[in-house]
Every structure is written in structure tokens, then in C-alpha cells.
């Protein structure tokens, strides 16, 4: 699924580093037998906590801001997501202005995010659905709903998928769910927490089963896996020789596992 490092100096260096790390014997630490995948997930969580820190789980944005920003974030960078959001609010002022704007004008305003022509009508339909259902642009009622009910309500909104819904529930309402973006998915596959053919949608429930159902744990796991995927376990040319997860990583032990 993911591109492999080519047979170049960096790969040779990584394999040299691997030999140094695997002095335990023919079975390197990456492949050591954890009692269960849950134990391996907790080990990874612990290593990343030590590396990136314990992140305070406080809402970074109010729920409506988080919801619409996450729709904008799909298949784009954080920088472009933020720019698109700022342009949208500067131009239309509030949620009513965004909902009622000519769709071509909204598309132009959020152009910095990719697929603006798809996101613009989805955002307007989402705002309309929230207003018609709740009487205002307010989703704070999700705090009092059972997690599964809140998830189902969000997933019924246009343009809202599992990643967006779980991110809103975890980040804004501290619900025990686990968002899986491309970075979390990639690191999870390479370390062997999920199989090489497990898609993003299925990964949410699989990974959730491996971790304690505590919002603070799930939040830190998500944030730190994302950081690790951005900084070290990148899509191409992963920095394996610098990776703190090398000792528990299937990909580090054998890059061909990504093709299995």
C-alpha cells in the first residue's frame, strides 16, 4: 500500500542499524511475542508518551468550528485547512452566512483546501441539517448523548465520515472513540497493530479494541501517533534509523511486511 524505501544509502544505513539493534538473536525485538496485540499497543502508547509527552486533553476549538474545520481538512494540509476556514469566516461572517452563500462563492473562499467544489455543498448541507434538526447551529447536545448515538447522528450529516465524527467526539466531548487519519493508519500498519490490508474505516474499531476505553489514553494515542507519522514514519523515506518504535515495528524488521 505504501511506497518503500529504495535500495539506496538510507536503506543500507537502516539495515545496518537494524543489525545493531537485533543483537538479541534471530528474532529481533520487533517480532518478539507480546502476550497480545493489546500489550503491544500499550507498549507503543508508552513509548510515544515518553517521546512526545502527555498532551493535555482540552478542547482546542468549539464544536461547530471543529466539525466544519475537520470537513475542510479532508485531503489537505493543516495550513490550507486553516487558511480556508479563515477565508470562509472573513467573507461570510457566521454560520448563517456560510449556509446561505452562493455555492460558487463559498467554493472560491475555501479554495485553499482541496476538493472545494465537493466540500462547499457538503458544508452547506451539513449546516442546514443541523439548523433544521436543532433549531440553531449548535451541536453541544452531543455531550449528553451516549457515544454510539452521537456517532450515528454525526455520520448522518453530509460529508461527515468516521474520522471526522470520531475526532469531534473525542476532541470536543471527550468520548471514548479513536480517530484514524492517514498517519495513525500508516504507523499502525507498519508496527503490526493492524494488518496490511485493513482499510481506514475498519481500523477505527480494531485499534479501539486494543486500547483502554479512556478518553485521555485515546487522545494521546491519536495525537502522538499522528506526530510520529508526520515526523518519522513518513509515507516515503521513513526515518527508521531514528525511530523510537524500531524495537516493536514489523516494518523495521522486514519492510516487505507492508506488501503482505
Give the Cα separation of 156 and 119 in Å (integer): 16
- Residue for grid cell 502476550: 35
CATH class for the domain made up of 63-173: mainly alpha
| pLDDT (0 to 100) of residue 76 | 86
- Residue for grid cell 467544489: 117
Give the Cα separation of 164 and 9 in Å (integer): 39
| pLDDT (0 to 100) of residue 1 | 38
| pLDDT (0 to 100) of residue 103 | 98
Burial of 60 from C-beta contacts in 10 A (0-12 / 13-18 / 19+): exposed
Architecture (CATH level 2) of domain 9-56+179-259: Orthogonal Bundle (1.10)
| pLDDT (0 to 100) of residue 241 | 94
Q: Do domains 9-56+179-259 and 63-173 have the same CATH topology?
A: no
| pLDDT (0 to 100) of residue 259 | 58
| pLDDT (0 to 100) of residue 28 | 44
- Give pLDDT < 70 ranges for the chain: 1-33, 257-260
Q: Where are the domains of the chain?
A: 9-56+179-259, 63-173
Amino acid at each position: 500500500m505504501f511506497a518503500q524505501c529504495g535500495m539506496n544509502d538510507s536503506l543500507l544505513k537502516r539495515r545496518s542499524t537494524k543489525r545493531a539493534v537485533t543483537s538479541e538473536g534471530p528474532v529481533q525485538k520487533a517480532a518478539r511475542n507480546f502476550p497480545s496485540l493489546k500489550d503491544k499497543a500499550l507498549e507503543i502508547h508508552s513509548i510515544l508518551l515518553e517521546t512526545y509527552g502527555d498532551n493535555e486533553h482540552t478542547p482546542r476549538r468549539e464544536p461547530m468550528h471543529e466539525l466544519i474545520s475537520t470537513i475542510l481538512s479532508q485531503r489537505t494540509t493543516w495550513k490550507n485547512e486553516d487558511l480556508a476556514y479563515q477565508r470562509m469566516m472573513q467573507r461570510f461572517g457566521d454560520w448563517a452566512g456560510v449556509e446561505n452563500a452562493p455555492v460558487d462563492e463559498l467554493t472560491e473562499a475555501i479554495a485553499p483546501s482541496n476538493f472545494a467544489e465537493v466540500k462547499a455543498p457538503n458544508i452547506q448541507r451539513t449546516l442546514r441539517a443541523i439548523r433544521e434538526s436543532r433549531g440553531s447551529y449548535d451541536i453541544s447536545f452531543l455531550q449528553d448523548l451516549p457515544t454510539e448515538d452521537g456517532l450515528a447522528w454525526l455520520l448522518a450529516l453530509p460529508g461527515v465520515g468516521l474520522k471526522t465524527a470520531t475526532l469531534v467526539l473525542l476532541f470536543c466531548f471527550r468520548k471514548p472513540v479513536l480517530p484514524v487519519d492517514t498517519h495513525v493508519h500508516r504507523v499502525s500498519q507498519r508496527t503490526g497493530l493492524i494488518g496490511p490490508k485493513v482499510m481506514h474505516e475498519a481500523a477505527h474499531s480494531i485499534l479501539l479494541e486494543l486500547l483502554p476505553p479512556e478518553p485521555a489514553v485515546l487522545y494521546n494515542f491519536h495525537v502522538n501517533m499522528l506526530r510520529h507519522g508526520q515526523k518519522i514514519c513518513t509515507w516515503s523515506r521513513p526515518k527508521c534509523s531514528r525511530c523510537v518504535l524500531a524495537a516493536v515495528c514489523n516494518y523495521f524488521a522486514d519492510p516487505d511486511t507492508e506488501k503482505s
